[in-house]
Amino acid sequence: MIEIHEVSRTFAAPGGGEVKALDGVSLRIGQGELVAIVGASGSGKSTLLFTMGGLSAPTGGRVVLDGQAVYDLDQGGRAALRRDAIGFVFQTFNLVPYLTTLENVMLPAILAKRGRREAEAGAMRLLERLGLGDRRHHRPAQLSVGERQRAGIARSLVNDPGVILADEPTGNLDPESAGHVVALLRQLNEEGQTIVLVTHDADLAEQASRVVRLRAGRIIEDRPSMRKLAS
């Protein structure tokens, strides 16, 4: 469902020269996979995830999502694709500070022009499921960091996207909250949700089904996880 063909991404380096953040990356990710993208800091993980998600155009190559060449779409078409087909989860949560938890989770549904009542019902179902039902009127600053990330995951799910793209979703969490978030992502995947996550955490990566390792903008390893091999 996600096909990346020979994607490269070059940035102008401040002070001259350029950085090849991605250098000829090809990757196919099928429905129902849970893929961990790993690699050293600066190896191109976030750039790959954002390029995959229609947030950052590659300098070369193609990204195809469910048969649609993502960067053939104009800005508006790409925004609609991101809204409807992709759920983003960020390391720093990116919740809107002046909205309540419920309003944050509803927001993508409202933007997708679903009725307010339907948006609210969908958001409430997710909050209940993620154990945040009684936090619905809290604002992000009034939530624990683990709760903020669960709210971020609820928000990513509200439009029932084909794929979740998560950049270091446990990067700001204590080990216990991180464990909850990992368990949640695995459970969603077991229900069929396709998930691509970037992580520094080797243990977390082995919870995926497949591990893709980048070095200097290239894929140097693509293998089943230890968990997959053990099962």
Site for ligand ATP in 56-115 (CB under 6 A): none
Taking the least distance from each CB to ligand ATP, the nearer of 43 and 177 is 43
* Among positions 42, 61, 133, 179, the unique one binding ligand ATP when judged by CB under 6 A: 42
* Among positions 2, 4, 7, 21, the unique one binding ligand ATP when judged by CB under 6 A: 21
Neighbouring C-beta atoms of residue 13, cutoff 10 Å: 9
Taking the least distance from each CB to Mg ion, the nearer of 10 and 68 is 10
| CB 64 to ligand ATP: min, Å | 21
Distance CA 41, CA 96 (A): 27
Binding characters for ligand ATP, 114-143, by CB under 6 A (x = yes): ------------------------------
- Mention every residue, 6+ apart, whose C-beta is less than 8 A from residue 208: 34, 35, 36, 195, 197, 225, 227, 228
Site for ligand ATP in 149-178 (CB under 6 A): none
| CB 3 to ligand ATP: min, Å | 20
Q: Give the pair of three-digit tokens for residue 193.
A: 């949700």
* Among positions 1, 3, 5, 19, the unique one binding ligand ATP when judged by CB under 6 A: 19
Count residues near ligand ATP (CB under 6 A): 11
Site for Mg ion in 46-65 (CB under 5 A): 46
* Among positions 7, 33, 46, 136, the unique one binding ligand ATP when judged by CB under 6 A: 46
> Taking contact as CB under 6 A, which single stretch among the options 43-51, 140-148, 187-195, 204-212 is the one that binds ligand ATP?
43-51
Q: What is the full DSSP assignment across the chain?
A: -EEEEEEEEEEEPTTSSEEEEEEEEEEEE-TT-EEEEEESTTSSHHHHHHHHTTSS--SEEEEEETTEEGGGS-HHHHHHHHHHHEEEE-TT----TTS-HHHHHHHHHHHTT--HHHHHHHHHHHHHHTT-GGGTT--GGGS-HHHHHHHHHHHHHTT--SEEEEESTTTTS-HHHHHHHHHHHHHHHHTT-EEEEE-S-HHHHHTSSEEEEEETTEEEEEEE-HHHHH-
Residue 19 near which of ligand ATP, Mg ion, none (CB within 5-8 Å, type-dependent): ligand ATP
Taking the least distance from each CB to Mg ion, the nearer of 133 and 171 is 171
Phi-psi region of 179 (alpha: psi -120 to 50; beta: other; left: phi over 0): alpha
> Taking contact as CB under 6 A, which single stretch among the options 24-32, 45-53, 148-156, 180-188 is the one that binds ligand ATP?
45-53
| CB 46 to Mg ion: min, Å | 3
Q: Please give the residue ranges that form the binding site for Mg ion (CB under 5 A).
A: 46
Q: Please give the residue ranges that form the binding site for ligand ATP (CB under 6 A).
A: 11, 19, 21, 39, 41-47
